[in-house]
Structure formats: structure tokens, C-alpha cells
Amino acid sequence: MNQKKFYNNEANLFAIHKEKYGIVDTIGIKFIDSIMWELKNKIILDYWCGNGKNTIRLAEKWAEFVLGTDISNILLKEALHNIWDYENISFLHIDPKNQLFHKILQHNVFDYILSYYVLCTIKDKDLLNNIGKSIFSSLKPDGSFITLLPNRDNFNGKTCFWFSYIEKLNMKEWDEVITYLRTSDFPLPNIDNDDKNHLKIIDYYWPQETYINILKDIWFKQVEIIELFAEEKSYNWIIDEVNFSPIYVIQAVK
């Protein structure tokens, strides 16, 4: 099954995870909140925006204009349903393998480009490079690319409330890695037993160093990695996410 078909088929389960169990927002979105003042009156691209909840949040609070893009028609339909009263937001259906998408991203358009758990879904390193180049070219000078990614190096084989990383030893570039996203109250698995109670996601492992090298080779002048942790007592279901970082941020400045 190709990536686009899988993403569309699983869109409803993604929605269940995000609405009922997506407590990752208490970590990732808290980081975005900490830099929100930088986004005021800026033009922003939300790259692979899903159902548009974060896109809309940016538009209603801070940004001058936000463009949300995604490959899932299902999720974009939901996003479009929610923006009837916003004039500073738009959504665009894209496919990163389609050259037209790269042409749509005109040079020096955006002040910020945000993406949430996107680059980890890309298996092809050439495609990863092409996406990075499109992101670079579409940013204004001194514009920033900010992406949240699963921290496989730090959280391999560990579990937090909302997802579980199935342990994989001796990981190499573009190895398949398995994550279970919580979609029910059943316990999350710690081994890959094809659990039917939760949403099984296949991602691809890229070391932090690979992302850094790609971005620096594209001529981003500053690339920073920030590992994120849950705050103790931030919610009632903490497992490993206080002592080990489940996600991290890359911030790259053009």
C-alpha cells in the first residue's frame, strides 16, 4: 500500500488518537507556545497539517496568514469544514512526489515553516533532500523551519501514555520502525504483536545527524536540536516520558 493510500485509510484513526489521546500536545505544543510570540504577524506554512487543528490555532491567535498542506483528502476535508470564519488561512492538497507541489512553493514566501512528525515518514533519502530544498527555497531570508520528530535514539523501546516505540536494535538509516498510537484504553504493546487495539504506524529511522547534515548541506546557516520531556505531574498517566525524551525539535534558520 502506498503512503498516500495508507494515510487516507487511517485518517479516521488518526483523528481518534488526536482528539482523545493526543496528549503529545502537552509536550510538542507547549514548545510551539514558547515561541509563539515569534510567529506574530508572520506568514506560515503548516507542512502536512492533518486535520488543521494546529493550523487554525496559529491563524486565530498569531499569524498574518497560514497555509496548511497535506496529502490526505480526508483530513483536509475536515480542516476545510472548520475554517468557514477565518480569512487568514487556506488549505492545499499536495503530494511531495509531485513536482507541481515544489513549484507551488515559491521562493522566499514564508517566515516560518512548521511540520509535525513528517520527515520520519519519508523512506527515500533523495526525497528527503528534495523536501528540504523546497522548504529552504520557500523561506524568506532568516526564516525558520521548525519540525517535531520522534526521538528514536532516546526513546527506543519505551512507552508513554499516548504511544509506544517498538524496540529495534542496531538501527540503520531508513530502517522501518514501528510505533503504536493509542486509539483505545487497552494497554499499549511493548513488542510488535500486530496489536489491533491501537493504530500501527510504520516510520523510517533517520539519525539526528542525518537530518542535521541534510539541512546544513542545503545551506541552512543555523541548525539546533532540542530534546523535549514531559513535566512531572503534567498529567496523570506518565510512564517513561519524564526521564526519557520521546520527541525532539529541529530548528533551522535560513
Domains and CATH numbers, the chain: 3-152+205-253 (3.40.50.150)
* Banded model confidence at residue 181, pLDDT cuts 50, 70, 90: confident
Phi first, then psi: what are they for 53, rounded to 5°?
Answer: -60, -45
Q: What is the C-alpha separation between 250 and 223, in angstroms, rounded?
A: 7
E strand map for 48-174 = 65-70, 89-93, 110-116, 139-150, 163-165
CB 117 within 8 A of CB 249: no
Longest dimension (CA), the chain: 50
Q: What is the C-alpha separation between 50 and 171, in angstroms, rounded?
A: 28
pLDDT at 143: 97
Q: What is the pLDDT of residues 45-76, one digit of tens each?
A: 999 888 888 898 888 877 999 999 988 888 88
How many residues are given for the chain?
Answer: 254
Q: Which of 167, 156, 249 is nearest to 211 (CA)?
A: 249
* Banded model confidence at residue 19, pLDDT cuts 50, 70, 90: low
CB 48 within 8 A of CB 70: yes
Mean pLDDT of the region 32-51: 90
Segment among 30-34, 137-141, 217-221 with least mean pLDDT: 30-34
Write down the pTM of the prediction.
Answer: 0.89
Higher pLDDT, 195 or 17: 195
pLDDT at 124: 92
Q: What is the C-alpha separation between 223 and 225, in angstroms, rounded?
A: 7
* Banded model confidence at residue 24, pLDDT cuts 50, 70, 90: very low
Higher pLDDT, 168 or 17: 168
Kindly tell me if the per-residue pLDDT of 237 is higher than 80. no
Kindly tell me if the per-residue pLDDT of 159 is higher than 80. yes
Set of cell numbers at residue 214: 541534510
